[in-house]
Amino acid sequence: MTDTQTLYAAYSGIIDTALGALVSEGVLPDDASFKNVTLEPPRDASHGDLATNAAMVLAKQAKTNPRTLAEQIAEKLTAADGVVSADIAGPGFINLRLEPAAWLNELQAITALGDDYGRSTIGAGTTVNVEYVSANPTGPMHMGHCRGAVVGDALSSLLELAGHDVTREYYINDAGGQVDVLARSVHLRYREALGADIGAIPEGLYPGDYLVPVGKALASELGDKFADAPEDEWLPVFRAQAVTEMMEVIKGDLALLGIHHEVFSSEAALHQAGKPDEAEKWLRENGFVYDGVLEAPKGKAPPEDWEPVELPLFRSTQFGDDQDRPIKKSNGAWTYFGADLAYHMQKAEKADELIDIWGADHAGTVKRIKAAVAALSQGKGKPTPFDVKLVQMVQLMRGGEPVKMSKRSGNFITIADMIDEVGKDVVRFTMLTRKPEAQMEFDFAKVVEASKDNPVWYVQYAHARIQSTVRKASEEESVSPSDEALGQLGDEELTLIRRAAQFPREVEAAAKAREPHRIAFYLYDLATDLNAFYSLGNTALEKRFIVKHDKGLSAARLFLADAIGQVLRNGLRVLGVEAVDRM
RNA sequence: GUUCCCGUAGCUCAGGUGGAUAGAGCGUUGGAUUCCUAAUCCAAAGGCCACAGGUUCGAAUCCUGUCGGGAACACCA
C-alpha cells in the first residue's frame, strides 16, 4: 500500500475486486448492482475483523441462495492480500479475519492523514446549498433559532468533510410586514432619543431595549427632520437602517456560536430584481399557476373578514398538498411563498442540491415549497434535489423546571445569554445530542455538569486526558514506534483502534443521511473506549500509556493515544466544538 | 377535521436507509485507585421496540390502520 488508505476503503476495494471477478466468471450478471453491499464491523468481535453482507444482497441477482454465493465470494477473499480467513456465518454473512498488521496500519493512516482522516470523496465535489437560521431581522437571536443554527452549521461542515462543495446561506426576510413593524418601533425609539415622551410601547410594536441604541444612532445622524413627518416619508429610510442594524446584531450572535454564512440573500433585493415575476411567468406558461378562489379554512372557524377572492394560485395539490397556495395577495403584493419560490429558483441555478433547515413550526409549508422546487427545476431541465430538514422545539429547563419566557414583554432568552451562561461548546454539542426531528430539553444545570452523564464534558475530558499524557511523555517515548513495538499492542488496544477506524465510515453514513448528530454519538463512544483503556492503567502499571522502563511499548501506546486524539479532534471540528488540551 | 414529527429498560435517549443474541447514560445493587487527570472504570439486574395487521429468507427499521404525546394548519412571516 503506497498511498495512505484507510482500512475500510482498502477492503471495500478488495471486495469489489472479488465481485468483479465473479462477474467475469459469469457467476454474477454483467449488470449486477453492488450498491447495497456493505462492509462493517461484525456484530461480535469474536467473529472476525470485518463482515460483509455481499452474498445476501447479491444472491437474487446471481439466481442462487446466499450461502452458495457466499462460498464463492469467500474463496476469492481468502486469496486476497492481508486476509487470513473468510468464514460464512448466519444467513450468509462473510466474516473476514485480517492480519494484525492491518489495524496497526490504520494507526499510521490516522497519523499520516492528520486533520484529513475521515475526509471522503463521496460528495464528488457536487455543490450543496445549505440555508439555515434565516431568522427575521427584527431583533437578537433567541433560543428558538439556536438548534437550527447549530444543526445547519454542523451539517455544512459534515458535507464538506464528505467531499461536497458547500455554500452556507442566510435568507434575510426584509420585505414583509414585520420589518415595517420594526421600522415603526425604531421610529418610536428615535423620537424617544430626541426627547419625546413615548410612554409605554404600544401593542403590536417591538418593545425590546435593543432598539434604543438604533433610535439614538438615527437621532444623531438625521436630527429631528423625521420626528413629525408622515410615515410614508420615513418608513423606507428607517426600515433599511433598522434591518442593517439588526443584521449586524444577528451576525454578532452567530459569531458567538462560531457560525459564519458565506451568502446573505435579501428578499427585498429579490423583489427589486423582479425574480418573483419571472417565476410566475414561467409557472403560468407551464400550467402550474392559475387564477382561482381559495376555499375557506377548514376545521376551525373562518376568520371574520374571510371572503372568497380570486388569487393567483400555485398547484401544490398536484404534489400532495391540501390546497393550492396563493403566490400573491389580493392587494397585489407577493405572499411570502411567492417570493420564497423565486428565491429557491435562484438558489437552484447555482447549486446541484438544496437543503433548508427550518423550525418545526413551518412544517405546514414544506409541501408547497418542495412542490415549487420540483416544478421549477424539472421544468427547467435541471431537477434539483431539495430537502427540508425540520428541527423540533427545544424546551429550556433549569434543574428540571421549565424556564418561563414571555415574548410579549421582549423578555426572551437570547442566544447571547445562553452562551454567556454555559459557553459555545456546550450549546453546540448539546444541540447535537438528539436527532433534530425529535423534541429535546436543554437543562442549564445539566449541561455544565462534569460527569459521564454529560457528553460534552465527557468527550472533552477524554481529549484532555490524552493531551495530558502526551505532555508527560519523555523525548525517547515520544518518537515514532518501531514495527516491533507496534506489534506489542494487544487486544485491548485493538478495541480502541477498531473504534477509531469507524470514523471515516461514520462520516460517510452521517453525510448521506444528513445527520450530523451521529458524529456526536460516535465521539461519545470513542471517548468511552478511551477512558476504559485508560483505566486499565489504574490497577496495572504495565497497561499505562507510559510504561516505565519500556520505551518501545510507551512509544507505541503514545502513538495510539495521539491517533485517538486526532480522531476526537476531527470529529469535534465537524461539530464546531473546541478540543481542549486541559480541563 | 387535515398535515408533519415522536412513541425502544423505572427515567433521558442511540439504533449506520431491512441483517447475526436490542444498545448507552442516569437511577438501583455489588466491586475497583501505590491514579499517565477517579470529574474515572468493571460487573449484575432491568425489554411484548405503543397496539393490530401486512410486505419477505429476515422488520425496532418499510406499508396500512388504531391509540397516546407534541407542533402546524392566513392573502401572516
Nucleotides on strand B lying under 7 Å from protein C-beta: 1-7, 12-21, 23-26, 32-42, 57, 69-77
Cell of A163: 467531499
Find which nucleotide's C1' atom is closest to A395's CA: B70
Q: How far is CA A87 from CA A12, A73, A91, A307, A567, in A?
A: 17, 10, 12, 73, 31
Cα A501 from Cα A489, distance rounded (Å): 16
Residue A518 has pLDDT above 90, yes or no: yes
- Maximum Cα–Cα distance across chain A: 91
* Assembly ipTM: 0.94
d(CA A365, C1' B73) / Å: 9
Find which nucleotide's C1' atom is closest to A393's CA: B71
Calculated CA dihedral for residues A428, A430, A436, A441, nearest 10 degrees = -130
Cα A502 from Cα A500, distance rounded (Å): 5
Cα A368 from Cα A321, distance rounded (Å): 6
Q: How far is CA A520 from CA A19, A114, A187, A255, A430, in A?
A: 34, 19, 46, 21, 9
Give the closest residue to B41 (Cα–C1′): A535
pLDDT in tens, A147-168: 999 999 999 999 999 999 999 9
Find which nucleotide's C1' atom is closest to A59's CA: B57
Find which nucleotide's C1' atom is closest to A457's CA: B39
More confident call, A408 vs A508: A508
Cα A156 from Cα A136, distance rounded (Å): 21
Confidence bin at A364 (pLDDT 50/70/90): confident
d(CA A215, C1' B39) / Å: 48
pLDDT computed for residue A295 by the predictor = 72
d(CA A422, C1' B10) / Å: 30
Find which nucleotide's C1' atom is closest to A180's CA: B77
Report yes or no: A95 and A86 within 8 Å, Cβ to Cβ: yes
For A408, residues 6+ apart whose C-beta sits below 8 A from its C-beta are A207
d(CA A492, C1' B58) / Å: 34
Give the closest residue to B3 (Cα–C1′): A364
Report yes or no: A18 and A96 within 8 Å, Cβ to Cβ: no
Side-chain half-sphere CA neighbours of A262 within 13 A: 10
d(CA A574, C1' B46) / Å: 36
End-to-end Cα, chain A, rounded Å: 39
For A222, residues 6+ apart whose C-beta sits below 8 A from its C-beta are A190, A237
Residue A1 has pLDDT above 90, yes or no: no
Confidence bin at A408 (pLDDT 50/70/90): very low
Q: How far is CA A114 from CA A180, A233, A524, A562, in A?
A: 51, 60, 20, 10
pLDDT computed for residue A2 by the predictor = 43
Q: Per-domain residue ranges for chain A?
A: 7-99, 127-173+259-391, 177-256, 450-575
Cα A355 from Cα A109, distance rounded (Å): 33
Instruction: Identify the CATH homologous superfamily for domain A127-173+259-391.
Output: HUPs (3.40.50.620)
Number of H helices, E strands in chain A: 20, 15
pLDDT computed for residue A30 by the predictor = 85
Can you tell me the mean pLDDT for A200-213?
90
Range name among A97-106, A180-189, A298-307 with the lowest pLDDT average:
A298-307
Find which nucleotide's C1' atom is closest to A458's CA: B39
Cα A564 from Cα A130, distance rounded (Å): 30
Q: How many CB atoms lie within 10 A of CB A512?
A: 13
d(CA A510, C1' B16) / Å: 8
Sign of CA dihedral A549, A553, A559, A565: negative
Can you tell me the mean pLDDT for A510-523?
95
Residue A146 has pLDDT above 90, yes or no: yes
Closest CA to A21 of A89, A67, A78, A63: A78
Which of the given ranges, A87-96, A269-278, A305-314, has the highest pLDDT on average?
A269-278
Find which nucleotide's C1' atom is closest to A554's CA: B36
Residue A302 has pLDDT above 80, yes or no: no
d(CA A461, C1' B32) / Å: 21
Confidence bin at A457 (pLDDT 50/70/90): very high
Cell of A92: 450468509
Q: How far is CA A315 from CA A282, A289, A323, A337, A369, in A?
A: 13, 6, 8, 13, 11
Sign of CA dihedral A109, A113, A119, A124: negative
Give the closest residue to B22 (Cα–C1′): A43
Which CATH number does A7-99 carry?
3.30.1360.70
d(CA A209, C1' B7) / Å: 42
Cα A70 from Cα A86, distance rounded (Å): 10
CATH class name, domain A450-575: mainly alpha
Cell match 425574480: residue? A275
Mean pLDDT estimate for chain A: 90
User: Beta strand pairing status for A93-98 and A50-52?
Assistant: antiparallel
d(CA A544, C1' B33) / Å: 14
